[in-house]
Chain A
C-alpha cells in the first residue's frame, strides 16, 4: 500500500474520516447481568470487546489477598477469529503479558482499592474483533464494566490511539493505518490532563508530541462523555424501574 493513501491531500483518510474524527463509538453496560457483577460491550469502529467483572470477592488463593487493598486481576483473551487471518494466540505471549500488566497497574490506581481490603476484583476481557486501537477499547470496556459493578473509582479512564502522518496527527487509527504509521495510545483520568496510561511503540518526532497529545486528550474527554451518557441512560432506566416498585 502506498503511503499516499493514508491521508489524501483533500484531508480524507482511508475510510473517509477527517484527521480529527473518531470512529463510531458504541457502548453498552450491564450486558450480562446474571453471570457477572458488572459487564460491558464496547465497539470502536470494527474493534469489539466484551468485558466482565467479578467481585470484589473472596480470593480463591491466599496469595491474592492483600490486607490493605483489593487485588485486580485482568485476564485478556483475544479470540482466534478476531483478525482477518485466523490465528491462535497464547496468553503467555510477551505482548499479552505486557498488556495485562499495564491494565492491572493502571486500574490499581484509578479504582479505590483501599476500600476493599482482602478481596479480588477479577476482570475478564474478550476481544471479539480487532481493527486497531485494541488497548484503547479494552481500557474503555474495563472502565465501564467496573462502574457497572458498582466499584468505587476516582473517575472514568478513557483511552484513545493517535497516529502521526507527516505533520498531521490522525485520531483513532483503524487497523490499516495502525500498520503503516506509528501509534500512541493514551489513557486519561476523567476530564483532567493527567495520563494514567501511555504507550508508544514506534518513532515520532519529539517536537510533534505536544500537538498529538493535545488532540488525544480532547478525544478522551469526548469518549468520557459518550461513556458517561451510556452509564446515565442505563442508570435512569434502572432508577425508573426501581421507582415503579
Chain B
C-alpha cells in the first residue's frame, strides 16, 4: 500500500471497544454481509455488468476472440482475468504500480475462478490445436469501501454467467469457421461448472497484549467480521479468505499472515459460510434468469421461438 491512511490511536481504541461490546460501527451484525445493490446487467451487450456493494463499486467486462491454443493444451480454451486497481478507487492505491496488496487481490480472484475450473475450458475448443475461444475478463474497481476480493469474485462470476459468445459453424470439413453475428443467430452462454464464492473474514485483536493472541489458550475474545468496510479494512489485524461453492467444496483458502487463528474457529467459519454461499449463488442465478426473462419479453423473442419450433 503506497500511501497509508492514518487512523488515530483513539479512533482505533474506540472501534475495538465497540467491537468488544458487540457493536460494529456500521450497524451490521458481525457476520452480516452488505447486499449488492444497483446491479446493472447490460442489455445491449453480453458480458458487461456494474454493481455496488455498500460503497464499493466495480465494473466487469467479458470479451472473447478466437486464437490458436497453447501447444501443450490443444483441447483447451484460454481464460484470463485482468484485475485493475488504480487510484480512482482510493488514493491508497497508486497508479501504474502494482503493490503487493493488488497482486494478492488479483491472485486470489484468479485462483478462485480460474484454477478451480469454474469455466469449462474444453467447451471453448473449436478445432483442436487450431482454434479455440479466448475469454478475458476485465475487472475494474471504481470505488473502494472494503472487501475487494469477495465483491470482485462475485462480479466476475455474474459477468461470466451473463456473457454469451457468438455462435459458430465449422465448414470445409473442419478447416474454416463462420462466426455468426449475434443478430443473426442467438449467441450461446458459457458453460459454467460451478460458482465459487469468496468470503473474507477480518480478525481483530481485542486483548491487551499480543502474546495472549499468539499463544494463549483462550479464544473467547477472537472477533471476526464478515465483509468489512473501508475503515474496518484499515484496522484489521489479519484476515482469512475462504472460497466455497454450493457443492460444499472448499476451492481456496488463504491466510496471508496477520494474527494467528484457532483451528476450531476456522472450521466454524467455513461451516457457517455455506449459508452465504447458497444465498449469493442463488442471487446470481435469479439475476441472470430475470434478466433473460426481461430480454425475452422486451425483444419479443417469443415470436422467433415459435418460428423455430415449427
Q: Which residues of chain A come closer than 8 Å to B115, judged between CB atoms?
A: 201-202
Q: CB of B5 within 8 A of chain A?
A: no
B254 and A205 contact, CB distance less than 8 A: no
Knowing that A100-B100, A155-B214, A205-B250 are A-B contacts, what are 16 other residue pairs whose CB atoms are under 8 Å apart, sorted by A's residue number?
A101-B100, A105-B257, A184-B253, A189-B260, A192-B260, A194-B214, A194-B263, A195-B263, A197-B256, A198-B254, A199-B253, A199-B255, A203-B250, A204-B250, A206-B250, A209-B267
Q: CB of A193 within 8 A of chain B?
A: yes
B271 and A94 contact, CB distance less than 8 A: no
Q: Which residues of chain B come closer than 8 Å to A199, judged between CB atoms?
A: 253-255
Q: Which residues of chain A come closer than 8 Å to B266, judged between CB atoms?
A: 195, 198, 213
| A101 closest partner in B (C-beta) | B100
The contact string, 1 if C-beta is below 8 Å from chain A, for chain B 237-261, is 0101000100011111111111111
CA distance A202 to B267 in the complex (A): 18
* Chain B 87-130 interface residues, beta-carbon cutoff 8 Å to A: 98, 100, 103-104, 106-107, 111, 115-116
Q: Which 5 residue pairs are nearest across A and B when measured between Cβ atoms?
A: A105-B257, A194-B260, A200-B253, A198-B255, A101-B100
Q: CB of A175 within 8 A of chain B?
A: no
Give me the interface of A with B, judged by CB distance under 8 Å.
94-95, 97-98, 100-102, 104-110, 154-155, 184, 189-190, 192-207, 209-210, 213, 217
Q: CB of B274 within 8 A of chain A?
A: yes
CA distance A192 to B219 in the complex (A): 12
Q: CB of B262 within 8 A of chain A?
A: yes
Q: Which residues of chain A come closer than 8 Å to B261, judged between CB atoms?
A: 194-195
Q: List 24 A-B contacts (CB under 8 A).
A: A95-B107, A97-B98, A97-B103, A98-B104, A100-B100, A101-B256, A101-B257, A102-B254, A105-B257, A109-B214, A110-B260, A154-B214, A189-B215, A192-B260, A194-B260, A195-B255, A195-B262, A197-B255, A198-B266, A204-B249, A205-B250, A206-B249, A209-B270, A210-B267
Partner of B215, one of A104, A192, A205: A192
Q: CB of B208 within 8 A of chain A?
A: no
| B214 closest partner in A (C-beta) | A154
| A189 closest partner in B (C-beta) | B260
Partner of A190, one of B215, B250, B259, B270: B215
Q: Given A155-B214, A201-B111, do A206 and B257 touch, yes or no (CB 8 Å)?
A: no
Q: Which residues of chain B come closer than 8 Å to A206, judged between CB atoms?
A: 244, 248-250, 270-271, 274
Partner of A196, one of B103, B217, B257: B257
CA distance A77 to B253 in the complex (A): 24
Minimum CB–CB distance for B158 against chain A, Å: 21
Q: Which residues of chain A come closer than 8 Å to B107, judged between CB atoms?
A: 94-95, 97-98
Minimum CB–CB distance for A153 against chain B, Å: 10
| A206 closest partner in B (C-beta) | B248
CA distance A97 to B105 in the complex (A): 12
Q: CB of B44 within 8 A of chain A?
A: no
Q: Which residues of chain A come closer than 8 Å to B106, judged between CB atoms?
A: 94
| B107 closest partner in A (C-beta) | A98
Q: CB of B183 within 8 A of chain A?
A: no
Q: CB of B8 within 8 A of chain A?
A: no
A203 and B214 contact, CB distance less than 8 A: no
Q: CB of B211 within 8 A of chain A?
A: yes
* B104, B253, B259, B261 interface centre (most CB from chain A within 10 Å): B253
Q: Given A104-B257, A105-B256, A193-B263, do A198 and B250 touch, yes or no (CB 8 Å)?
A: no
Minimum CB–CB distance for B140 against chain A, Å: 18
Q: CB of B264 within 8 A of chain A?
A: yes
Q: Which residues of chain B come closer than 8 Å to A197, judged between CB atoms?
A: 255-257
Q: Which residues of chain B come closer than 8 Å to A155, judged between CB atoms?
A: 214-215
| A208 closest partner in B (C-beta) | B250
CA distance A110 to B236 in the complex (A): 17
CA distance A106 to B240 in the complex (A): 12
* A101, A108, A203, A217 interface centre (most CB from chain B within 10 Å): A203
| B108 closest partner in A (C-beta) | A98
Q: Which residues of chain A come closer than 8 Å to B215, judged between CB atoms?
A: 154-155, 189-190, 192, 194
| A190 closest partner in B (C-beta) | B215
Q: Which residues of chain A come closer than 8 Å to B267, judged between CB atoms?
A: 209-210, 213
Partner of A205, one of B103, B211, B249: B249
CA distance A192 to B248 in the complex (A): 28
Minimum CB–CB distance for A99 against chain B, Å: 10
Partner of A202, one of B116, B217, B271: B116
Q: Which residues of chain B come closer than 8 Å to A217, judged between CB atoms?
A: 263
CA distance A184 to B242 in the complex (A): 13
A203 and B249 contact, CB distance less than 8 A: yes
Q: Given A94-B107, A154-B211, A199-B254, do A207 and B248 touch, yes or no (CB 8 Å)?
A: yes
| A217 closest partner in B (C-beta) | B263
Minimum CB–CB distance for A66 against chain B, Å: 11
CA distance A204 to B270 in the complex (A): 12
